[in-house]
A and B are shown apart, each in its own frame.
Chain A
Amino acid sequence: MYIATPLHVHTFYVNAGATALQLINFYMHFRFITLVARQEWASIFRSKVPLALFTVLFVVALLATFTGWQYVSKFNHQQKAAHQEVHDQWMSQPNRHPHRVAHYGYMVFREKSPLSFFDFGLDSYVGNSVFLEAHRQNTVNMSEAGFSNGMLRFGELSMAMVLQLLVPLFIIFIGFQTVASLKLNGVLKLLLCQSASYLDILIGKITGLTAVVWALFLPLLLVSLLAGNLLITGDMSAEALLRVLLLTILYAIYFLIITMLVVIVSAISKSAKNALMVLVLVWMLFFIVIPKSAQTLGSSLHRAPDKIAFEQAIEEDVSKQGDSHNPDDPHFASLKANTLKKYNVDSISQLPVNYGALVMQEGENISSGIFNKHFDRLVDIYKAQNSVSSILGFADPYLAIRNISMNLSGTDFDSFTAFQKQTEKYRFEKTKKLNEIHLTQIKYQNDSKQKVSAKNWQQQPDFSFQPLAFSENLAAGTLGMAALILWVFASLGVLIFVSSKRAYQI
């Protein structure tokens, strides 16, 4: 007997069947991927060479972490001691003329950030101390690179260097033959005859390799970051925890990208040997040639003035602005007229305040403003130079991770510039306060003969560096993070493309 089934019931069955099939299909893919991944995992741990390489890397990483941590804590200790000495000297000054104190000056020492033991960044190439005095904007001097012979230039051994440079090489060595060798021994054909797609195999390989790399390096990274930070600062703030977690995640993404690249190259190579050759070449390109060229390109695109030109430009601007030594100088003549008018007197000697100090502060205002303008311009040029390597992060994942890693570790260009700017601000305010003391407590007549109580400057606040906030570091790292995410998607795209080409399956 014929029973008419309504059409929608029929489609329901068909749909359900299709969904079930899809599910089964999906499940099969999933099973296959995990199967390949597990097999890859097992085969890596079975052979000796990867384990030997890992042991070497592990030892080097531990060594780098330990020496880095020791170096940073000793260094900070030394800087603290020097700072204490300078501060004690400042506090135990006798009664002096405030302008003498302004020239006695103050010295500020740069301490390294807590995470700098992990990523040295620019630390060795920037100065560590600066002398602050009236009328003079000094640069931060005495970098470690200046006291080092050429050995530093080969690269500094830090944990970040191991993770950024050597772990990719490790991935290359354990991954170059993954797909290429399957082709050579014919296993690939066998696998493809089963229900697996080429994409499944590639994803399976990537999953297996990534799992190995993550299992080997991420715990090491996380533990040493936490331990180092704890040992250097003595506590663990929420912000530090966030930095550590983000660093770990970003390095995980970086390793994933490298693994994908390695598998892709292996998949498109005719033989494992070819894959290795290409990968080693790519490594050199990514890790040595592009970074160096990016920076030299940046500095030839955006020319920065050298010190003499920089100082001359400032001097020129200062002399345009006004010359406090010249009684006929229009700027200072009008300052004098305005001041006399303000206090309603006819001559400087009748002023209730010390006119000399007023002139001094005006000179300070002018020179400080001009210096800051030029310095900001210089920083902008440097930033433009560095932006070349930030942008090239989209062409070289190493540059992307290098930049974010420095940002999050507080050893990047911005952190150093912040130090320099804060010291200049501190210098300006210190000098301004001393000029105020000069203005109100020292009489104009017989100026240089007078002294004021040491209490006046003992009350001044000490310098303490405010490191860049997490959000600022994050903002600086946006481009790098975008580059890394783009790399993941681009690699996925290439992976799908490669897997669809028959030419790459044989």
Chain B
Amino acid sequence: MKIHRKVLLLEIKNFLLGKTVLIGAISLLLFGLYSFYHGNQVISQQQQTITTVQSVQRHHLQEIVEHGTGKAVGTTAYYPFFYTTNPASPWAKFSIGQRDVNPFTLKVKMLAIEGQLYDSELTNPLTLLVGNLDASFVFIFLFPLLIIAFTYNVLSEEQESGVWKIVRTTGNNMGAAIAGKLLVRLAIILAVTLLVFAAAIISLRLPLSMPTFELLTVVILYMLFWFTVSLLVIALGRSSSFNATTLVCIWIFLAILFPGIANITVNNSIRVPEAAETAIRQREGYHAKWDEPKKPTMEKFYAVYPQYRKYPIPDDKYSPGWYYAMQFSGDLESANSSKKLFDKLMQRQTLSEQIAGFNPVIAAQQSLNKIANTDLTSHIRYLQSVKAHHRQVREYFYPFIFEETPTESIDWGGYPAYHPNQYVDEPIFRGVMAILIWVIGSLGAALMLFNRNFIKIKDIQNA
């Protein structure tokens, strides 16, 4: 199929001179710039808070120790909070994901952990409801509309204005003519995409490493998906308004209705009453111990920490060792429902990834959040790391508590430091494949329809 260079150049000129292209591209660029500003603002505010954590922690511990001077570690240990942070990856500014919903700093006491894990961040719920206008939103929601605006009347307008008939009678290669027109549009769409993406790299200071290229891959594939969907609709050979209406309906279905229904499906098929259950269990598990004999509680504790058996626990009066053993057994008793909760959250993740196979919009959004480490899985990883840190802190202080060391004679800052999770390069193969299959599928169908409706068609009256 040979495309005449002259025709192609004319087409480029015609198309570029049209107002749609300019308005569409400029407004997208403006939205893009706003989204970069917003992404930068949200994430850098979080980062700023995170940088204060260390000094907050130091100051906090200092005060606790001051107050506790003269008392045993066991008494003082009740008060301090230990802070943890979940720093944003460099790509979080591109795709904020769930980072605004989930807390990015959590503080835990040495007491039972379960009740402390689900503290929410303070945020305006209306802001959460409305969601972020970040770069991923611009690419996922707004770009398809630009693609629709660029392509919906590619052939129908020529048909409607009667130009098409003239083109047909000249007997030129129809396929080449159509391909030329479409390629020009595809090239411009990709150029705008690359332009906005390049602007994102610069203004969000995205590192030029693998994840950035993964983001770009997903974005480009996603653009191809919408372009092929447009092709499919155009290939039906109907009027411009039919094309526009159909494409907008597809957009609404894929980007709003389908995810809405999918969300209900996921929530209804995997319910999580365990969160409340865990908190209730733990509270009871710990508090009931006050009124029970101390031996069974201590035995549970010794099963995990046999090295403390040698310290005497008086049966008739309060002792710090017993207090922390009670706290620990509260966690033991809620461990089961806690595990169930985490399992269910992972099930939710898996189910929604399966659903995303049927919807490239969800697949693309999930992939971007994955690359940016801003999805539910990353948050669960953070919660697990908080749990691990809680354990480290407890275990650091246990010997001093059992030894009944005075507060002032230990190093309160000497507990193993909290190491935030590193960036996890999660595989996005599934999401990418899902979009790719949709691209190939709709491209194939579009080609077939083009062939039937535009190329092989015989104008009987002109024959």
Partner of A131, one of B103, B252, B279, B349: B279
Q: How far apart are the CA atoms of A141 and B318 in the complex, in Å? A: 32
Q: Is the CB of B259 within 8 A of A300?
A: no
A146-B102, A173-B245, A386-B124 known; A86-B260 Cβ under 8 A? no
B15 within 8 A of A: no
Q: Is the CB of B244 within 8 A of A280?
A: yes
Partner of B318, one of A156, A165, A448: A448
Q: How far apart are the CA atoms of A389 and B138 in the complex, in Å? A: 21
Residue numbers in A under 8 Å from B38 (CB-CB): 296
Q: How far apart are the CA atoms of A378 and B266 in the complex, in Å? A: 34
Q: How far apart are the CA atoms of A292 and B96 in the complex, in Å? A: 14
Partner of B131, one of A79, A105, A153, A284: A153
Q: Is the CB of B290 within 8 A of A125?
A: no
Which among A234-242, A269-277, A334-342 touches the partner chain? A269-277
Per-residue CB contact flags for chain B residues 121-143 toward chain A (1 = under 8 Å, else 0) read 11111111111110001000100
Q: Is the CB of B276 within 8 A of A142?
A: yes
Q: Is the CB of B126 within 8 A of A295?
A: yes
Q: How far apart are the CA atoms of A128 and B160 in the complex, in Å? A: 57
Partner of A71, one of B46, B126, B264: B264
B411 within 8 A of A: no
Q: How far apart are the CA atoms of A169 and B118 in the complex, in Å? A: 39
Partner of A288, one of B46, B141, B280, B355: B141
Residue numbers in B under 8 Å from A310 (CB-CB): 122
**Shortest CB distance A64–B (Å):** 8
Per-residue CB contact flags for chain A residues 288-314 toward chain B (1 = under 8 Å, else 0) read 110111111011100011111110100
Partner of B244, one of A79, A157, A277: A277
Residue numbers in B under 8 Å from A35 (CB-CB): none
Partner of A157, one of B263, B271, B366, B369: B263
Per-residue CB contact flags for chain A residues 409-432 toward chain B (1 = under 8 Å, else 0) read 000010010000000000000000
Q: How far apart are the CA atoms of A154 and B261 in the complex, in Å? A: 10
**Shortest CB distance B328–A (Å):** 17
A151-B352, A273-B240, A299-B124 known; A122-B129 Cβ under 8 A? yes
B31 within 8 A of A: yes
Partner of A149, one of B41, B83, B248, B348: B348
A332 within 8 A of B: no
Residue numbers in B under 8 Å from A96 (CB-CB): 290-291
A104-B283, A104-B287 known; A306-B49 Cβ under 8 A? yes
Q: Is the CB of A143 within 8 A of B120?
A: yes
Looking at chain A's contact residues, the main secondary structure is helix
A134 within 8 A of B: no
Q: How far apart are the CA atoms of A430 and B442 in the complex, in Å? A: 64
Per-residue CB contact flags for chain B residues 150-164 toward chain A (1 = under 8 Å, else 0) read 000000000000000
Q: Is the CB of A378 within 8 A of B101?
A: no
Q: Is the CB of A293 within 8 A of B34?
A: yes
A147-B275, A272-B241, A293-B34 known; A155-B125 Cβ under 8 A? no
Q: Is the CB of A157 within 8 A of B124?
A: no
B 1-17 contacts with A by CB, 8 A: none
A 84-130 contacts with B by CB, 8 A: 85-86, 89, 94, 96, 100, 104-105, 107, 109, 121-122, 124-129
B255 within 8 A of A: yes
A149-B349, A296-B133 known; A307-B275 Cβ under 8 A? no
Q: Is the CB of B129 within 8 A of A307?
A: no
A144 within 8 A of B: yes
Q: How far apart are the CA atoms of A148 and B347 in the complex, in Å? A: 11
Partner of A140, one of B49, B120, B130, B284: B120
- Total residues of chain A contacting the partner, CB 8 A: 90
A 48-79 contacts with B by CB, 8 A: 60, 63-64, 67, 70-71, 74, 78-79
**Shortest CB distance A424–B (Å):** 14
Q: Is the CB of B53 within 8 A of A149?
A: no
Closest residue on chain A to residue B256 by CB atoms: A155
Q: How far apart are the CA atoms of A494 and B447 in the complex, in Å? A: 47
Q: Is the CB of A141 within 8 A of B118?
A: yes
Closest residue on chain B to residue A103 by CB atoms: B287
Per-residue CB contact flags for chain B residues 4-38 toward chain A (1 = under 8 Å, else 0) read 00000000000000000000000000010010001
Q: How far apart are the CA atoms of A145 and B125 in the complex, in Å? A: 10
Q: Is the CB of B366 within 8 A of A150?
A: yes
Q: Is the CB of B259 within 8 A of A131?
A: no
Residue numbers in B under 8 Å from A86 (CB-CB): 280
Q: Is the CB of A146 within 8 A of B125?
A: no
Residue numbers in A under 8 Å from B433 (CB-CB): none
Considering the complex of A and B, which 9 residue pairs feature the smallest CB-CB distances, nearest first? Answer: A157-B260, A154-B259, A295-B130, A149-B376, A125-B128, A125-B125, A122-B125, A382-B124, A151-B263
10 A-B pairs with CB atoms under 8 Å apart are: A104-B287, A140-B120, A157-B261, A161-B260, A284-B145, A289-B31, A296-B133, A307-B103, A308-B83, A319-B63
Instruction: Enumerate chain A interface residues (CB-CB to B < 8 A).
Output: 60, 63-64, 67, 70-71, 74, 78-79, 82, 85-86, 89, 94, 96, 100, 104-105, 107, 109, 121-122, 124-129, 131, 138-157, 161, 165-166, 169, 173, 272-273, 276-277, 280, 284, 288-289, 291-296, 298-300, 304-310, 312, 319, 323, 325, 378, 382, 385-386, 389, 413, 416, 448
